[in-house]
Amino acid sequence: MSLRRTVLGLTAIGAALVGWQTAGSRLIDLWPSGFDFEDIPGAPGFRFLEGGSVSGILRDPFIGLDSGSAAALPIEDVRPNLCANLFGQAAPGVVPIASFSDYNCPYCRVLSDRLDSLDHNPGIQVIWHELPLLGDRSVFGAKLALAARAQDKYTEVHAKLMGSRFALTDTYIRDLANDIGLSSDELIADMNSEAVTAQLSQSMALAEILGIIGTPALVVGRTVVMGEIGPSRMARLIELERAEPSVCR
């Protein structure tokens, strides 16, 4: 066989493979699921889907809690009302998405931007949970964001912490409070309040029940996604959740 025929033959094979891959990806997009789900033990009706990159792995389930609060992680209180604790009062007909993130997690920053744009869709509702796994800076950011929630400024503080580096100082808190229009004294006091500790404890209990061991993680309807997920895959998952019966609707 001549060299020219060999090259032409290999080119044809390559073109066929490219065509097959393109057709395959289109079939996956058209396929009603295309996902490999696993049931989650101890959380009936919920399922697990492996995602992409993860920044933090949960080694200490009580990080961010006072030592006296560690034994009180409310797993058995949270479990019977899993949907309400995950999603709050989700509006009828929407696909709720619970986000578990860490302000030191680079993949969380990328996913947070995507979720923020989705949250403006009337058919989707995003609920934010703090899961600080990457040390003191993570815990500081989580407490600061949750303290801002008491003054109805969680969204603004969350965006600020996700979008830039921050210092673990009272000066930073006061400057942030002035920029956003918060009471800095209330913010500092609320960071170490029982209410903030309870919210962290509840989110950690949810993570324990659902097998969430790192960030970012999402619960899209009844599907737990561990790791980053791309826009097209997320869109397909949302539509699948919208079409299927949900344990939380």
pLDDT value, residue 22: 34
Residues 116 and 238 in one domain: yes
Q: What pLDDT tens digit does each residue of the chain (249 aa) get?
A: 443 343 334 333 333 333 333 333 333 333 445 788 999 998 999 999 987 656 655 545 445 555 444 456 789 999 999 999 999 987 788 999 999 999 999 889 889 988 988 878 889 999 999 999 989 999 999 999 999 999 999 999 999 999 888 889 999 999 999 999 999 999 999 999 999 999 999 999 999 999 999 999 999 999 999 988 889 999 999 999 999 887 886
In a domain? residue 10: yes
The CATH number linked to 235 is: 3.40.30.10
Residues 90 and 193 in one domain: yes
Tokens 């604790």: give the residue: 85
Residues 6+ apart with CB under 8 A from 218: 51, 97, 98, 99, 100, 111, 224, 225, 229
pLDDT value, residue 33: 53
Q: Which two tokens stand for residue 122?
A: 């009337």
pLDDT value, residue 91: 78
Sign of CA dihedral 167, 171, 174, 176: negative
In a domain? residue 132: yes
Q: Which domain holds residue 202?
A: 36-243
Residues 15 and 64 in one domain: no
